[in-house]
Structure 1
Amino acid sequence: MKYFLKFLFSILPTQLRYAVYRRLVKIPRNVPENIVFKIADTTDELESAFKLLHDCYVDVGLMKPDASGMRVTPYHALPSTTTLVAKVQNDVVATLTIIRDSPMGLPCDSFVDLTGLRSGGDRIAEISALAIKRGYRGSLLFYLLKFMYESCVNCLGVDHLIATLTTDSQSNALYESILFFKPIDSKPEINYAFSNFRPVIAEHLNLHEAHDIFKKYYSEKNPKRDLFSFFTKEVFKFNQFPDRRYHMIDYSVMTVENFKYFFIDKSSALKNMPIEKLQALATIYWSKPQIELINNELSMHNVVLLKKLTRKNRFHVCNKNVTISDNGSLFPARLLDVSNMGIRISCGEKISDNFEIIINDYLGKRTHLAVEVKWRNNGGVFGLSVLRADDSWHEMINFFEHKASFDMNPLQSRKSS
């Protein structure tokens, strides 16, 4: 009888079956008292996350055992990648990685085309490397996904989420029915090495639409099933979010020490990295100490090396509280990144070559800039040079420069206390 009912359920129309899944949702309230959700920012936290990921992936056939006992991927080497962890005391019991788009691309680029999503200056990220320790899976999954959602929306400036999901485990059904991800291509990919050749499908969620979708399907439901309030309204003290000064979104923990530790000393990840990934990594780190380690590996492949160069640091931000003042007209814009002499913005309006920009920061302080357009693309993204700036602009740049200097030469141990 059990198998017969399961069969009947499997042949229901997809939308009806997904509606049943949503009615079965129950938000657990039995999280451990001493749990903490945070960005992994120490060597110990990263190592524990990579070990948990390795063990969970081996258990379900997503990878073969590695001699290091860790799952360390090329994307973990990126300064723009963020690893989330849940800790009970000093034990990492859950982890998930947010891979922001970069010159290396995203894991799913090997089998889907994201050109349309990339064309307008929106930020894309792929969520990957989800693992929860046995005994915590039923109680922590929704809390980990909530922390991921809030981190993407409030801290990392992500517009579009991608998830590459195994179809034989039906994990895609969870994301489609409960979180409203949509397949990018309906045909599963069966030659995806990143999942140990398990069949996968890439799915997409527009985070600008997610709020209203969650509200439509979950608002005013039984509190046990109200994922709208859970994801967008409830505040938990155990969620520890990073410093948001000046709307910064870079929280790199891959110092040269951590880079060497994870990719050379503790694993063969750098040695086994495909040449095209190494070259992409070199373009990202070409002005930082990590370039010497990357070049050492590239030299083994007789590849032309990039020299360590000195260039102006560019800092990624996500400030949507920006106004363009152009010949008496005011237009909203979004600040994407800044450097000492230039900025990059996105704006959906036609603007002239010279105008003023007003930037409102997190404390309500205003920064005024006179700028000139150096380039623009069809997606509404503009590269601007700063012609004139006030003191608050220089305060912001000094903050970012100091942070970058600390990240390259940390004064404190990266080990957990």
Structure 2
Amino acid sequence: MHVVLGVAGGIAAYKAALLLRLLREAGHQVRVVPTTAALEFVGTATWEALSGQPVTTSVFEGTESVEHVRIGRDADLVIVAPATADLMARAAVGQADDLLTATLLTATCPVLMAPAMHTEMWQNAATVANVATLRSRGVHVLDPDDGRLTGADSGPGRLPEPEAIADAALALVTTSGGEGDLAGRSVVVSAGGTREPLDPVRFLGNRSSGRQGIAIAADAARRGAVVTLVAANVDAALLPGGVDVVRVETTADLQRAMQDRAAGADVLVMAAAVADYRPAEIAQAKVKKSGEGLAISLVENPDILAGLARGARADQVVVGFAAETGDDAGSVLDHGRAKARRKAADLLAVNQVGEGTGFGDVPNAVVILDTAGEIVGRAQGTKSDVARGLLDAVADLLSRRSLVDGAETMSARAATLPE
């Protein structure tokens, strides 16, 4: 795929180099089009070395091939990261005073902008109006992250992480023409962590951010699937484009959402971290301190993955996750194998988790087991890397089942033919 990576003049331009690497490693051809100001932060040599493509900022270079028109016309996807307040203002009024804004005017493919600026600039009425204008014209403008900015201040305006930008951008380019190995398939993915209320202000929960399930949903959409993401308490800024999102909170909510959509799905992926227990009773008012401690009676929640596996059609693929820590009774893989046999999902991704491991914006690694607990694959790296590895296994299983079904159908037809 031909991707144009526009880079505007902000301190976050260095993160665009990481985004460029992600795109190249995913197999895409990337042309970097920086503004003149962007080159004050990251130079031409860096962009050319990482992209393998020439870099220019002016509409007066490459005139023999009319590059200020050709680059946008040839693009399958345009990403602008960082998109500064100045760049978005110029794009909103249709200026074409440099190669990047000219490219934006000529592009007919999906365009995604990832803003980065100080909070006051992001919240200024002019920027708010410019973002609304761009979105009304079909440009996909991400909301910036909330966090540490250039100086000592913090707030909304931080550039989203490169992995999140890549996921959101690539999800816009679905392979509806049948090119993807999941083209036309219906995929339902759960993500996040369920919360079980104790009283109106407290809940039992877990550390899951939903990033792994979100990466799976985004990659499934890139492969051409029609994707529904059932998101349990996931930060809205992490949600990918190009998928249908259903928000849930409790395990019961998640169970209903998955069961309601299971019948029409080709693939069900249970990546959400589900609370094993819930309070037997929910206090109607905030529980006050008594000085004598607090005893909470818990009841077991239903096993959603096992229920989906038991009710699955023969042509349906059910995938689960097993977040394990290992203990005196066995290793992470030992517990994973026992769970694979017990849950009876077609595939089970087993990963070691804990504080700083597995959960959140950190690398992940999984061992993929079949129903019998045998290893059929491994995947490691970023959440997107793991998503790709897992969906490779899903696509392979779907393909093998299709071949078996096709062979059985041919045999059945042959049996009906006269001798």
Q: TM-score range by the shorter chain?
A: under 0.3
Q: Considering Cα pairs closer than 8 Å and 6+ residues apart, tell me whether 1 or 2 has the greater RCO.
A: 1
Q: TM-score with structure 2 length normalisation?
A: 0.28
Q: TM-score with structure 1 length normalisation?
A: 0.28
Q: Greater CA radius of gyration, 1 or 2?
A: 2
